Structure 1
Amino acid sequence: MTKVLILVGTKKGAFIVASDAERRSWEIKGPFCATWPIQHAAADPATGSIYAAGGNAWFGAAVWKSTDLGETWTHSSEGLAYAKGEEPVKAAWSLAQGRDGLYAGVEPAGLFKSTDGGLTWSQVAGLRAHPSREHWQPGGGGLILHTIVPHPEDARKIWVGISSAGVFHTADGGASWEPRNRGTRADFMPEEERYPEIGQCVHNLVLAPGGGDRLYQQNHCGMYRSDDGGRQWVSIEAGLPSTFGFPTAAHPRDADTLFLMPLNGDIQGRYMPEARAAVWRTRDGGASWSALRSGLPQENAYFGVLRQALATDRLEPAGVYFGTGGGALYASADEGESWTCLAQHLPAISSVETLVIED
């Protein structure tokens, strides 16, 4: 029997929302993780283990783990720290399962790796050793490594997104890194400095399916696609209601299909354009876009969706899911054509991911 789990990270713990392959009725369980603030909940599809990156300056940083679909949880922060004398790690912000281990991004920006399922951690020190590090500046939410994209076939290749430093890539497992920001704008900079190598405010980054190097990026200043692993970015924002937003989600099988949720702008309130909710979809790699609204509120939608709070599942047709800063969770079982509200009044939602298992 196929089971679909939506893994929801919130400001007051993690939740698990479960259904069968029909995706018509859902059961909500939680909050888990002792109601810690959870920035990102995600799973290892190979083992079914669920992880939750959490903490803040009060709790400290840790990664929670459940091996029984949320029935019991443990957490560890062993090794999830910088050397004595450096600014302490405040929180764990992002997770990604690579071919050779579990990765965690933290604040202040850095990357850690676990090869024992989250029990112990070690820093991928090459990133913070990059000569540009002294020029990294915090975005509105802090200096955070918020996005980790391991290559699914080559364990040596990883992309990360740091606000407000930009996209970095390693081809040697983290020993060395290079910035990959060419072609993305920084509209907040003087005109002659609009395309810096370092200092880009990347918001989210996803790898298209198919085993290639196509990436999509929602930036503070535009929407972009790269077909060469981030060496060069091209704008695909024409047809969108705004150049500003946070989340993107790739289709599980079609490299030309992408979902995103633009907001009305960085200084206009950061809510749905015209206060009408929509998920925007491209079927042609960003050449054109369509707004998917059926079932979503079309008035007074003054909510935002954070960078990790939009996801797809791997079923056919693909499911699409998002959570709002006001604690509402929405789902589509037909690739965005129609939507259902699964929950309201959850804590502010930080992340949405999926896990499909055969029970």
Structure 2
Amino acid sequence: MEVLYFSAGRSLYEMKKEAQEWIMEERPAPVSFICLAADPSRKGRLYGGTFNEGLWISNDSGKTWVPAGSGISHNRVMSVAVSSTEVKNGCHVVWAGTEPSGLFRSEDGGETWVDCPALLDLPSKSSWSFPPRPYTHHVRWIEPDIHEKNRIFVGIELGGVMKSEDKGGSWEDRKPNSQHDCHALTTHPQAPGRIYEAAGGGYAESFDSGNSWQTFNEGLEPYNYLVDIAVDSGDADTMVAAASRSPYEAYDPSRARTILVRREDGGSWSPVYKGLPDAECSSVFALTSHPFQSGIFYAVNNLGFYLSFDAGQSWEKAPLDWPDDLTGERIHGFAMVVSED
């Protein structure tokens, strides 16, 4: 069964496919979540980060929530991730990123946390600054490497992509040709060493585990402000990204103008329109791909939930009863779990 979660306002939304039909349920939340992660090994386990109220945990798919345990020293939890490869004490390791920038690790399902302070010793740290709040910066994305359990990447907004080869104990600074305004990172099950980055300056990728990078923006202009990216699970060279012309037009539905862009086989980026809403008042999409079935992508924004079955070339809107109040909301977080039941 396929289950996807996203948050908007003070609600969590669960979408699941049953008997070939998608069903969506709204679940009121005690706080507003700005990031989500699901533990695929523990049914119903979700982690949600908030802007001022810390990290929260649910064990029943978002019906109820409790604050995470002690050890995260900042209340603004901007990113959260569950490692698919590292297990400690019977739990998949969980990572949380904060504003100001900090990275925290839990080996007991979020009951206790330890800091990774060496992240803040990097030479570039003095230049990190988030433009809307230039006095600070944050860990926007956390990407545990699915091929090497000791390796983890974090994206600092605005600072760049940092890498650790020892579970956060020590860090390598950003590399030339990577993007400094990092918004999203992903890896691929069939391509060890490959890293994909969606950023405010466009797209960058690495083929050697983040040791070197190249930027590739051909075809993006003027939509070269990328916010999210997903890659076909069966083809490491086919990807879809959520794009806008600027941050001003990305997030707020009242002034948004966003599209999806697609790239395959190392070619140029191209816009995708078939089956998607008009760019006007369409806030930036959150994206993911099916982890086991090639060619299937999912996208959600303020106007609906969209699916592609041809590797992102065309899309169809799921026939859900979409709440009117969602059209004015920014979508936060997008987590997917696929199970056999």
TM-score band by shorter chain is 0.7 to 0.9
Q: CA deviation at 1:228?
A: 1.4
Alignment of 1:192-207 (within 5 A): 200-207=180-187
Equivalent pair of 1:310/1:351 in contact (CA under 8 Å): no
Alignment of 1:1-359 (within 5 A): 3-20=1-18, 22=20, 25-34=21-30, 36-57=31-52, 60-66=53-59, 68-81=60-73, 89-98=74-83, 99-100=86-87, 101-140=93-132, 143-184=137-178, 200-241=180-221, 242-266=223-247, 269-270=249-250, 278-285=259-266, 287-298=267-278, 301-305=280-284, 309-324=286-301, 327-334=302-309, 335-336=311-312, 337-341=314-318, 342=320, 343-344=322-323, 345-346=325-326, 347-359=329-341
TM-score, normalised via structure 1 length = 0.81
Q: CA deviation at 1:73?
A: 3.3
CA 1:156–1:315: 2 relative to 1, 3 Å:
closer
Query: Partner of 1:153: helix, strand, or coil?
Result: coil
Query: Partner of 2:118: helix, strand, or coil?
Result: coil
Equivalent pair of 1:15/1:31 in contact (CA under 8 Å): yes
Q: CA deviation at 1:151?
A: 1.1
Q: CA deviation at 1:138?
A: 2.1
Equivalent pair of 1:53/1:93 in contact (CA under 8 Å): no
Q: CA deviation at 1:157?
A: 0.4
* Structure 2, unpaired ranges of 5+: 88-92
Q: CA deviation at 1:315?
A: 4.5
Query: Partner of 1:6: helix, strand, or coil?
Result: strand
Partner of 2:90: none
Whole-angstrom CA distance in 1 between matches of 2:275 and 2:250: 21
Query: Partner of 1:127: helix, strand, or coil?
Result: helix
CA 1:107–1:13: 2 relative to 1, 3 Å:
farther
Equivalent pair of 1:166/1:180 in contact (CA under 8 Å): yes
Q: CA deviation at 1:277?
A: 5.7
TM-score, normalised via structure 2 length = 0.85
Higher mean C-alpha deviation, range 13-22 or range 275-284: 275-284
**Sequence identity percentage:** 26
Equivalent pair of 1:277/1:296 in contact (CA under 8 Å): no
Whole-angstrom CA distance in 2 between matches of 1:93 and 1:160: 12
Equivalent pair of 1:9/1:52 in contact (CA under 8 Å): no
* Structure 1, unpaired ranges of 5+: 82-88, 186-199
